[in-house]
Each structure stands twice: as structure tokens, then as C-alpha cells.
Structure 1
Amino acid sequence: MSTRAASWWFGPVPARRIDVCRALTFGYAAIWLTVRAWYVWDVSGLPSRRFAPVGVMTWLDAPPSRPVVMGAWAIGLACSVLAALGRGLRITAPLGSLTVLGIVTLTSSFGQVFHTEHLLALHLLILAAASIIEPARNATERSGWPLNLMMATLAATYVVAGIAKLRFSGTDWVTGDVLRNWVAADNLRKVLLDDPSSTFGGWLAGVGWVWGPIAVFTLLVELGAPLAMVSRRIRTPWLVAAWLFHVGIFAMMAISFPYQLSGVAYLAFVPAERLEARVRQAVAGGGPRRARMEVTERP
């Protein structure tokens, strides 16, 4: 790694930026675990013959029992809450991240692999590693590598998705009806199976001219993700486009990416400490102008 690249990767950022990112990401994990509790309970009771282990579960011949799974769930929830509050980070952050990884991998071992849930697990692992390697002290600045690694991890998921589209369909993704047929077939399948579908997506499939621009927009978002890491001029437009990209997927296919739609997935890209200050001042009645005055300008 060149000196310039190392200076950027490990360069200092406000310590509060990492703290806010950790608090909101682990807070999201706690909410996610709570919302998914009944699903985890149901999956943990499925017959062993349906267990097709993936990821960290591949070393198991049979799924763990329900008491073990729900015990891990309880530990993950408690540790996520404590890590979000900044309590015992060198213990709670690693335990919380590992249990979330185990739970998302277990549920994926019984059916569809939910890649967005694994993105959350990876972000938690990065923040947990940062809590061990560079524990929070009274310093006002810390190395920014955890945030850069979180950005790189998220960007990689978009790039892989974009490359997969081009490998699957080539230029037909842009010039043909691949995306249009995909959306139409997905909604038809859901209607036939009485699953939640998108009436809007079904209607839009009949409007031929819109799909070329949508396909181009999709590739620009996915393949352009790395540029948002290195260019502040591109970062904000890309973040808006990426969020709208997931809104569009939900509108056209009734497929939700809650981690991205919540905005928490993108926290590493923004000066989160400024957002915190604005929220605090808004709650206190000071307004955003006063909040801006109290936050030191950082890159």
C-alpha cells in the first residue's frame, strides 16, 4: 500500500463519528433481532433434513437445537443493546456481532440466502474488531480504517451484483428486456403463490420505454459504488441514488432491503457526528444552525 493510500485508509476521523456509527449499527441489530425473533424460533424447529449449511454453519452435520439457537439469540440481543450503549465494548461488540453472524447464517441454511443480512453481520464484525484493536478512550480522533472498511464492504456488494448482471445477460441488460421480464416474472410468480407482489411493478412491465433507463441507472449505482468511497463530490449523489435504487426495488418487486432503506448501512459514508449533533439540538430546541456551530468541521 502506498504512503498516500495508507494515509487515506488509516487517517484520523472524529472519534465520535465511529461511536455514532457503532451505536446506530448495533442498535439496528438489536431491533432486527427483536423483529426476527419469531422467524428464528420457527426456523430453529424445522426438521434436520432441510438443513443445508452455508458459511460458518458448514462444519455442522445437523442444526443446533432450539434452546441453543434461542439462547444465542438472547445473547445477541443483550450484547447488541449494550454495545449500542457503549457498555463493555471489548466483550459485548464481539459477542453481539458473532451471534448475529451465526443467526443469519443459520436461517440462510434453511432456505434463501439473505445477502443483506450478511452485510449487517460484516459491518458489526468490523466495528467489533475496531473496539478490540483501538478501544474507545478520551481521544477526540481515531483511525478511520473501520469506516473505510465498512464502505469498501458495502461497495463490494454493489459491484458484485453489477458484474453478475453483466455476466448473466451482457449488453442485453441495457438494450434488451432482461430487467423488464425479470420484474414481470417475479411478480407473476408471487401472484400465483399468493405472496406479496407489486401492482405497480406489474403495471410498469407494460411500459416498454422505461426499462432501458432503469437498467442503466441500476448499473451506474452498482458499478459506481467504489467512486463514492474516494470522491466526496460523487458521494452524496451516489448515496441518494443508491437509496432510491432500493426504494425502486421495493416499489416494483415488493422486495425490501431494510438495512439500506433505514439508511444505517450508509453511515460510514457520512459525518455521523454532525447528524447526531443536529438531532440533539433539534430535540433540545436549538435548531440545526446552532448544531452546525458546535460541530468542528471535519472532512
Structure 2
Amino acid sequence: MSWLTEAVPRGRVAAFRTLIYLFVAADLVIFTPWVRTRVSVPGDLYQPLLIGRLLPLPTPTETLVTVIFWALLLLALLAATGRAPRVLGWAVCALYLEWMIIAMSYGKVDHDRFGLLVALAVLPTAGRARHGDTTRTEAGGWALRVTQIAVICTYFLAAFAKLRFGGLDWLTGSVLARAIIRRGTDLADLIAQVPHLLIVAQFGIVAFELLSPVVFLLPPRWRLAMVGFFYSFHAVTIATITISFAPHLAAMTSFLPLERVRPLVWARRLIGRGPSEAATDVPPTDADTVPPGQDTVGARAERALDDQAPVVGRPVGP
């Protein structure tokens, strides 16, 4: 249990919370605005996921989807400030879950949003946290750890699904070749010309997904290196077959020391540094630039003024 609730700085929780809620707002307008087009699809084609059948949830209408969109956008931006973390957090979690149920109830379910949904579910339990706060919190540590587990489960269960439905033929088949034909880039076309490279890549993908839980056994420095490898894998995926896994990448920042990234503090320092540096940026005088052993009229005049001026802290007069 100590591993599951390992304390982390509150500043890390605050940074992760801000990032996740800002991503939710961006997701509505950049990655999943197409959900709003679902209202033009006949209601008979709406086949809700199991959770949508258990609750049960209504068939999406134009009014319902519009209300969810604007309410979620506003609440996510408010939640990103860190205020009322429980009330706003639970509200964002519920609305985004409904947004995803609407999105995924027409025949296609994306697995890259599992970690993000878990993050939204556990962040309200982390309590208050301020940027830059170095005090540690076990509640925040639990929220980050559960998100990390969800991220790694996404990898491990993806490999399990490949082997479950595709068997060993998935490893030696033409999965990547088909993906390149459908949505490949020029870089992917170059890679596809290398004999047997795509087969080797398929073996590598399954191997790294099955071994992904090893990240929890590594020391902190090596853990960050492995997480960096995860990000590089997705960078190659984007560059070759244009699949971003953006929600998954946002949830994976739960592994990173986000408390060290403080853009507002950096901006304030830059703003505050400008006038001070300008005030101290005085052109050098003759006394400052004269080589040792030489003297100038300007230097002698400055020394004479210094000799006549009272010294701060020393009594003047008898």
C-alpha cells in the first residue's frame, strides 16, 4: 500500500490537474469536435456501450450534445485553475464520460482514452494543490499512481487483445502494411521498402507492450528514460501512420516531475528581470576600463568625487 500511496509534491498534482483539464477543453475543439455531428445520425444507429445501457443514458439529441459541449468546455477551464477541485472535478468527469459514451456508441471504441478517463475519475480525490508547493501528499500520490497503472494497462491489454483476436498471425501478418496503405506518410513508405522491417516492428510492438509493466520496477532515472521511450514510440507512430494517441500521452505525464515545469513563474521572472537588468546595464566608465598601472583624467575625477562623498554607514563630522 505504501507503493500505491507514495507521497508526491502537491505542485506535481496541481500541474497534472491543470494539464489534464486543459487537454479536455482542447479535446472538445481539436480532437473530438466530430462528436457533435452524431446528432445528425438516426437514433436507431445509437448502440450505447454497456455503461450506457446500465445507467441508462438517453439517446443523443442536438440539445443534449450542445449542452454537454459548452458545459464541459466551461467547467474544464474552471477546473484547470485548481479551484473547487472536488465539485468541478466530479462534474468534468461525469460530463466527459457521457461525451465519450456518445462518441464510442456508433461502432468504434478507441482504447487511447482509458488512462485519461481514469485520471479524471481520481483527480477529485487528490484534494487541493497549488503550483510550486513542495509539501507531499499521499492522496495526490494515489491519484497519480492509479493513472500510471491505467496507462500501463493500456499497453499490456493492447498486446493481450492482439494475441487474443489475431493470435500469433498478428506478429507475422500485414497489420502495419495495411495501416501504411490506408494512412501512411512518405516516411512510412520509405520504411515499408526495407525487407522484413515491418514484421520485425510488429514483434517489437508486442514485446514492448507486454514488458511495459517493468517501468514500475525501475529506479526513478531509468523509469523516466523508459517513459521517454514510450513517447518516442508514439512520435514514430504519428510520423508514420498519423495516429496520435493524444489522450494517452496526456495521461502518461503522470510519470513526469511536472512540478519542475512552471511556465508562469518563468514568465514572471522574465518580466521582472527585464527592468532590473536594464537598470544595472550601465556603460563602463574610465575607472572601470583602465588597465592596471594607467590613469586617466576621468578616472582621477571620479576618485576625487568618491573621496568627497560621505560613506553610507560611517558618521559624518567630528
- Whether the aligned pair in 2 keeps the contact of 1:15 and 1:141 (CA below 8 Å) is yes
Map of 1:281 onto structure 2 = 266
Map of 2:176 onto structure 1 = 183
- Whether the aligned pair in 2 keeps the contact of 1:101 and 1:118 (CA below 8 Å) is no
Match of 1:219 among 206, 209, 229: 206
What are the superposed Cα offsets for residues 244-270 of structure 1, whole Å, 9 maximum, x if unpaired?
A: 22122223322221234xx42222111
Aligned pairs for 1:220-259 within 5 A:
220-231=207-218, 232-259=220-247
- Whether the aligned pair in 2 keeps the contact of 1:221 and 1:238 (CA below 8 Å) is no
Residue 38 and residue 210 in structure 1: after superposition, are their counterparts in 2 closer, same or farther (change >3 A)?
A: closer
Q: Is 2:150 aligned against 1:153? A: yes
- Higher RCO (C-alpha under 8 Å, 6+ residues apart): 2
Residue 182 and residue 154 in structure 1: after superposition, are their counterparts in 2 closer, same or farther (change >3 A)?
A: same
What are the superposed Cα offsets for residues 130-154 of structure 1, whole Å, 9 maximum, x if unpaired?
A: 34xxx44888221111111010010
- Whether the aligned pair in 2 keeps the contact of 1:198 and 1:254 (CA below 8 Å) is yes
- Whether the aligned pair in 2 keeps the contact of 1:183 and 1:201 (CA below 8 Å) is no
How many Å separate the matches in 2 of 1:216 and 1:184?
A: 14
- Whether the aligned pair in 1 keeps the contact of 2:215 and 2:226 (CA below 8 Å) is yes
Structure 2: where are the runs of 5+ without partners?
272-318
Give the deviation of 1:237 after TM superposition: 2.5
How many Å separate the matches in 1 of 2:149 and 2:22?
A: 21
Residue 36 and residue 253 in structure 1: after superposition, are their counterparts in 2 closer, same or farther (change >3 A)?
A: closer
Q: TM-score, normalised by structure 2?
A: 0.74
Structure 1: where are the runs of 5+ without partners?
1-5, 191-195, 287-299
How many Å separate the matches in 1 of 2:228 and 2:57?
A: 44
What are the superposed Cα offsets for residues 136-177 of structure 1, whole Å, 9 maximum, x if unpaired?
A: 488822111111101001000100011222334555555x3x
- Whether the aligned pair in 1 keeps the contact of 2:176 and 2:198 (CA below 8 Å) is no
Map of 2:117 onto structure 1 = 121
Aligned pairs for 1:56-135 within 5 A:
56-59=51-54, 60=56, 63-131=59-127, 135=128
Question: SS state of the match for residue 10, structure 1?
Answer: coil
2:211 is matched by which residue type in structure 1?
G
- Whether the aligned pair in 2 keeps the contact of 1:151 and 1:229 (CA below 8 Å) is no
How many Å separate the matches in 1 of 2:165 and 2:247?
A: 26
Map of 1:289 onto structure 2 = none
How many Å separate the matches in 1 of 2:95 and 2:208?
A: 31
Give the deviation of 1:203 after TM superposition: 4.3
Residue 79 and residue 252 in structure 1: after superposition, are their counterparts in 2 closer, same or farther (change >3 A)?
A: same
Map of 2:2 onto structure 1 = 7
2:79 is matched by which residue type in structure 1?
A
How many Å separate the matches in 2 of 1:171 and 1:68?
A: 44
Residue 204 and residue 168 in structure 1: after superposition, are their counterparts in 2 closer, same or farther (change >3 A)?
A: farther
Map of 1:33 onto structure 2 = 28
Map of 2:192 onto structure 1 = 205
Map of 1:47 onto structure 2 = 42
1:269 is matched by which residue type in structure 2?
F
Residue 202 and residue 111 in structure 1: after superposition, are their counterparts in 2 closer, same or farther (change >3 A)?
A: farther
- Whether the aligned pair in 1 keeps the contact of 2:114 and 2:151 (CA below 8 Å) is no
- Whether the aligned pair in 1 keeps the contact of 2:144 and 2:254 (CA below 8 Å) is yes
How many Å separate the matches in 2 of 1:164 and 1:151?
A: 20
Give the deviation of 1:126 after TM superposition: 1.4
Instruction: Please give the root-mean-square deviation of Cα atoms over the aligned residues, in Å.
Output: 2.6
Give the deviation of 1:36 after TM superposition: 4.8
2:255 is matched by which residue type in structure 1?
F
Larger Rg: 2
Q: TM-score, normalised by structure 1?
A: 0.78
